[in-house]
Every structure is written in C-alpha cells, then in structure tokens.
Amino acid sequence: MPTVDLQETIPLTPTMKALFCPRLLQEISGKFSWRLPDKLDHDQHLRRVDEFLHLIKPNFDVLPTNQKNSLRSFLYLFSGIIGSTNVMVKSMDISIGSELTIGAGTGSSASFAVCLAGALIQLLKLKSSHSYDAYYDEDFSMTEKELISEWAYNCEKIMHGTPSGIDNAACTFGSMISFKKGHKPRHIDTRLNLRILLVDTRVTRETKVLVAKVASVRQRNTAAMDHILEACDHLANTAMQVLVKLSNGKCDSDMESDYQHLAELWDMNHWLLGAMGVSHPALETIRAAARARGLACKLTGAGGGGYAMVLIPPSTHRSTVDGLSSHLLEHGFRVTETTLGGAGVSLEM
Ligand SMILES: Nc1ncnc2c1ncn2[C@@H]1O[C@H](COP(=O)(O)OP(=O)(O)OP(=O)(O)O)[C@@H](O)[C@H]1O
Ligand SMILES: C[C@@](O)(CCO)CC(=O)[O-]
C-alpha cells in the first residue's frame, strides 16, 4: 500500500485459522456468507481482526492511524469475503494505489475499500468458476455492485465510526447519486459535463474528528443545527432539479441562468457548512480568489481543510480559469481541472 507507505507480509495460514468463518449477528442463525455483509457481526469480526493484528505485529499500536486503518480494513475484507467460502486461497501479492490525496475530503477511504472489495469478489468469481475465461471480460452486475458498496460501508465504519454511506455509494455506482442516510441511493442520469477546479488546501484532517466535532456542536445547539441541516437538504434537492434541467436543456440563455442558480446553491451550501464549523482559513482564501473572478466555491467531504471545488460554468473564459489556477498555485495550493461524475467501480483485466 504505497499510498500509506506500507509494505507488509501477512502469514496466510494463521490468518485463515484466526479470521476465516466470520459469524452472523447473534439474532440470525445459519452460516455467514459474503453475500450478506449487513448480517456480519461487525464488532466481533473487527475485534478478531484487531486481536490478530496485535499478535502478528506487536508494535501495531504505535503505527500511524493511516496504516493501522488500512491494515484493519484489508484483513476485515479479505477474511470476511474469502473466509466465508470454501474457495482454496494461495499466497498472493496485492498492491493498492491511488491518485487521491488521503484524508482530504474526496472519499479516498471509500474508494480504497470499494476497489479492494471489488477485487476480492472478482477473485472469488474467478476461483469458483470452472472455466477461467468465464468472467474474463465481464464487469460487475448491479447486485455485485450493491454488495461491493455494502462491504465498503462496513470498512467506512472502521475509518469513520458513523458513516452515512454516501462515499461508498458514490464510489461504487459513479455518475451522480441522490443520497439520504438509510435510503437506497438514487442514480441521476444527468449526462452532464460539469466542470470544476478541484483545489487541494494541503491541510490534512481526519473525517472522524470533524464528524465528531459537528455532532458536539449539534448537541449544544440542536434546534439551530437541525434547521441548518434541513436547509442543506433543500439546497441539495433544488440542486438536483437544476442539474436534471441542465442535462435536458437546449437553450443557451436558460442554461446560463441555470448555471447561475447552481452557483448560488453551491455558495449557500458552503456557508451553511461554515456555520457548522467545518470551514478552514485555507478554504476561505481559495473561496475569496474564486469570488473575485465571479465563481462559486465550496468545501468537499468533511471540510476542515482538504479540498475546495470551484464550479466552472461553460461560459467561463479560459483566461479566468487559467488566472485563478495560477493564483492558487502561487499561494501553494494544488489545482486539478476535472469534471464531476466518474465511472464508479469497474474491472480492467
Ligand atoms: N490507496 C490507499 N491505500 C491504503 N489505504 C488507503 C488508501 N486510500 C485511503 N486509505 C485509507 O483511508 C483512510 C483515509 O480516510 P479519511 O476518511 O480520513 O479520508 P478521505 O476518505 O480521503 O476523506 P473523506 O472521507 O472526508 O472524503 C486512510 O487513513 C487509509 O487508511
Ligand atoms: C463528511 C461526510 O459527509 C462524507 C465524508 O466524505 C461523512 C459521511 O457522510 O459519512
């Protein structure tokens, strides 16, 4: 795992002895299957993983949090998925890379877990198929994607404590999704080329810590915070309507006003997040530079540093985007021009 500067050799037979055959939740009988990630006794399985890691790595507690969580998630998924089958596993090399900055609000933990769960499920498919070619070119089915997302959600619990499930859903299904905790993600078919500047503040932070901070602000100011959260919900719903309109729109002048409306919602969302206490001086510096050029800018993920996103409507002059990028680069930020709505989990073999 070069991204977290970790190279480990994990003994296979002791892993199988200690962690294979995960248990179902107490109230459910039968044998655990990798097809039922939500029925796994998460706490018990994670406890076994932690005990095993302390056994094979006596210095486990002094490792950096990044490395600890990556190892815990890896063993959790490997034993949870492969260890619930009678597929024979042999020694293997697994290497996981990423282009994302870790702990910066672009869901690197979910993307890591989604890729790993996808790879392990594909390995199971290849191992349990009689013909090696049977699954060679096939991508994941919708049911498989749902399982990948659920496994990744379990890993997010290891990383974040109380994740909503939005990051694993976005990483798995790609495109754009409408998401509310506890509900199935809804796919929005926008066919939009929504351009953004993704700006890395280079201020690292931990999502778990920020989420806990918001929870404590809410505990002291419950009614006010609930109104802010409700306002965020309204903004998101309106933004979705605007995105759908933009995706179907044909008339340029309508499009321009829809983009302006989206920019307004973009800024309002940032201000509400700021009221919850998750902005940062570096994010405000980036926002000021974007504002000076008439562009909307908001924080992403849990805030507190990490990334800002500047919306670039199609009418924006190239010189405006280049001027903003140079300005931000000169101030030590990293800038990537990209579009929103990637492909989701997919196989390349
Ligand atoms: N390529 C990778 N290899 C190994 N571990 C990774 C990799 N990418 C992410 N991780 C794990 O994910 C953790 C980062 O999770 P964290 O939630 O703090 O950041 P994030 O997911 O980038 O931010 P956010 O959840 O706010 O979008 C790291 O501590 C590490 O354990
Ligand atoms: C900050 C948060 O909304 C996303 C982190 O990328 C937390 C969550 O939804 O679990």
Calculate helix-pair angle for 42-56, 142-160, nearest 10 degrees. 60
- Show the domain range for 17: 2-178
Distance CA 157, CA 208 (A): 10
Look up residue 249 and give its two tokens. Answer: 């729109």
Which residues of the chain have a pLDDT value below 50?
A: none
Beta strands at 195-200 and 186-188: parallel, antiparallel or unpaired: unpaired
Domain shared by 232 and 122, yes or no = no
CA of 301, closest atom in ligand 2: 6
Name the 3-class secondary structure at 43. Answer: helix
**pLDDT on residue 137:** 60
**pLDDT on residue 97:** 94
Instruction: Identify the sign of the CA torsion 198, 204, 205, 206.
Output: positive
Q: What does pTM read for this prediction?
A: 0.92
From the CA of 183, how far away is ligand 2's center (Å)? 15
Task: Among 96, 102, 166, name the best residue to mutate to test ligand 1's pocket (greatest count of ligand atoms within 8 A of Cβ).
Answer: 102
Residue 316 within any structural domain of the chain: yes
Question: For the chain, how far is it from start to end, CA to CA, in angstroms?
Answer: 20
CATH number of the domain within which 312 lies: 3.30.70.890
CA of 163, closest atom in ligand 2: 10
H helices within 174-280, ranges in order? 207-220, 222-248, 252-275
Tell me whether residue 167 is one of the annotated catalytic residues: yes
Work out how many domains the chain is built from and give that number: 2
From the CA of 241, how far away is ligand 2's center (Å)? 22
80 in contact with ligand 1, CB cutoff 6 A? no
Residue 345 within any structural domain of the chain: no
**Measuring from each residue's beta carbon to the nearest atom of ligand 2, which residues come in under 6 Å?**
105, 107, 160, 163-164, 166-167, 207, 211, 301-302
Element (H, E) at 196: strand 195-200
From the CA of 311, how far away is ligand 1's center (Å)? 25
Distance CA 130, CA 127 (A): 8
Residue 186 within any structural domain of the chain: no
**pLDDT on residue 191:** 78
**pLDDT on residue 132:** 57
**pLDDT on residue 162:** 85
- Of all protein residues, the one whose alpha carbon is nearest to atom 9 of ligand 2 is 164
Question: What phi and psi values does residue 152 have, to the nearest 5 degrees?
Answer: -65, -35
Domain shared by 203 and 328, yes or no = yes
**pLDDT on residue 349:** 83
Domain shared by 195 and 56, yes or no = no
Look up residue 233 and give its two tokens. Answer: 């919900």
End residue of a domain, out of 119, 145, 178: 178
CA of 300, closest atom in ligand 2: 6
Burial of 85 (0-12, 13-18, 19+ CB in 10 A): middle
Residue 185 within any structural domain of the chain: no
Of the candidates 337, 298, 283, 302, the one whose C-alpha atom is nearest the C-alpha of residue 108 is 302
Question: Nearest bound ligand to CA 208?
Answer: 1
**pLDDT on residue 136:** 62
**pLDDT on residue 2:** 95
Burial of 174 (0-12, 13-18, 19+ CB in 10 A): middle
From the CA of 58, how far away is ligand 2's center (Å)? 32
CB 83 within 8 A of CB 16: yes
